[in-house]
């Protein structure tokens, strides 16, 4: 398998389809071992420092539990309790962390700040969500889709909603695995062209396609999977009212689900807002795998940690 030792994980287009494949098979192995109750501690003595500038349930718990299970340790740090919150520079923080711990996980607003941290750190930096990317989520999503669908090549994955961080990473993930991603967003909420361009470069190697539309009903026809995320992401709280008006008609509900294949899978990274981006019937219904996705954060990230810190 390819070695990812010492590498960062800021976004998924820095990896090759082969590296993603290797991560996913290791993730499956991690999950099987965990289910059997096998103790596997390849990261004995390693420490991951985690910086959170935004709230988190899944990311924080899965990284903390994952490091513990691998024999290592994770410490969750809040920006306001670090000198970073009082003006110590990202560059100095990166160099100090590099002498004290083995890896850094960061959840913050500006993607540029994570790139700067990675530039100055001599240890791997993992993106736990920025305004542009959510690579760890997309790895767990691929693992979930693989479990549910088997082979992913040629599958139609439809994303309905905001052209945000989750969609950007999902597009890169789809490209790596040869899926056909269709993104239906309201006008003005399209994903970033420069990120899609990188995903399309990868897609050339795998036969994947990435298309954008404003019509969710049309997009959902024959879907193998339908994905949505919140309309107002963290940091966009004041736009909530406007967004709810602009996203009218973009709810994933029974009518939309019926456009997909009979066994269509519903995905959501969570947290979810029932009655807004998704109806209660869909997220709590038979097509939904949202809690499997949340659990798979643990297994996908353990594989990532083993490969970059190992």
Round to whole Å and give the CA distance between 183 and 191.
Answer: 8
x/- letters, 116..155, toward ligand NVA (CB under 6 A): -------------x--------------------------
> Any contact of residue 169 with ligand NVA (CB under 6 A)?
no
Residue 66 — left, alpha, or beta (φ > 0 → left; ψ -120 to 50 → alpha)? Answer: alpha
92 given a catalytic annotation: no
Token readout for 77 is: 């740090």
x/- letters, 220..239, toward ligand NVA (CB under 6 A): ---------xx--xx-----
Question: Binding residue for ligand NVA (CB under 6 A) from 269, 276, 278, 307?
Answer: 269
270 is in an annotated binding site: yes
What is the sign of the dihedral through the CA atoms of 39, 42, 47 and 49? negative
User: Could you say which of ligand CP, ligand NVA, none residue 80 binds, taking C-beta under 5 to 8 angstroms by partner kind?
Assistant: none
Q: Among residues 166 and 309, whose Cβ is nearest to ligand NVA? A: 166
Which residues make Cβ contacts (< 8 Å) with residue 299, sequence separation at least 6?
27, 28, 30, 31, 34, 140, 143
Residue 227 has what DSSP assignment? E
The site for ligand NVA, by CB under 6 A, has a size of 9
Helix orientation angle between 135-149 and 165-176, rounded to the nearest 10 degrees: 50
Site for ligand CP, rule CB under 6 A = 56-59, 129, 137, 269-270
- Taking the complex as a whole, the smallest distance from the CB of residue 137 to ligand CP amounts, in Å, to 5
79 given a catalytic annotation: no
Residue of 87, 117, 148 lying closest to 289 (CA atoms)? 148
Helix orientation angle between 17-36 and 165-176, rounded to the nearest 10 degrees: 100
95 given a catalytic annotation: no
Q: Among residues 217 and 234, whose Cβ is nearest to ligand NVA? A: 234
Q: Per the annotation, where are the binding residues for L-ornithine?
A: 165, 229, 233-234
Q: Per the annotation, where are the binding residues?
A: 56-59, 83, 107, 134-137, 165, 229, 233-234, 269-270, 297
Would you please indicate which residues are annotated as catalytic (active-site) residues?
107, 134, 137, 229, 269, 297
């Amino acid at each position: 398998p390819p070695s990812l030792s010492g590498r960062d994980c800021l976004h998924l287009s820095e990896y090759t389809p082969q590296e993603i494949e290797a991560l996913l098979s290791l993730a499956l192995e991690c999950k099987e071992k965990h289910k059997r109750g096998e103790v596997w501690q390849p990261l004995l003595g390693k420490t991951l420092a985690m910086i959170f500038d935004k709230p988190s349930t899944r990311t924080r718990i899965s990284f903390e539990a994952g490091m513990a299970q691998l024999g290592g340790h994770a410490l969750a740090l809040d920006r306001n309790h670090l000198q970073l919150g009082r003006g110590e520079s990202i560059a100095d923080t990166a160099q100090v962390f590099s002498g004290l711990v083995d890896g850094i996980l960061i959840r913050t607003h500006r993607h540029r700040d994570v790139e700067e941290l990675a530039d100055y750190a001599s240890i791997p930096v993992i993106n736990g969500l920025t305004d542009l990317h959510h690579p760890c989520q997309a790895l767990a999503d691929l693992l979930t889709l693989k479990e549910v669908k088997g082979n992913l090549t040629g599958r139609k994955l439809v994303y309905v909603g905001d052209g945000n961080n989750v969609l950007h990473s999902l597009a890169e993930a789809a490209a790596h695995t040869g899926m056909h991603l269709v993104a239906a967003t309201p006008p003005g909420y399209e994903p970033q062209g420069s990120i899609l361009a990188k995903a399309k470069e990868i897609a050339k190697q795998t036969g994947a396609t990435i298309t954008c539309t404003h019509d969710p009903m049309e997009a959902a026809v024959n879907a193998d999977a339908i994905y949505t995320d919140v309309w107002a992401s963290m940091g966009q709280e004041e736009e909530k009212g406007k967004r709810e008006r602009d996203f009218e008609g973009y709810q994933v509900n029974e009518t939309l689900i019926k456009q997909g294949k009979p066994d269509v899978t519903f995905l959501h990274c969570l947290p979810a807002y029932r009655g807004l981006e998704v109806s209660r019937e869909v997220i709590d219904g038979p097509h939904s795998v949202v809690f499997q996705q949340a659990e798979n954060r643990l297994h996908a990230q353990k594989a990532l940690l083993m490969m970059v810190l190992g």
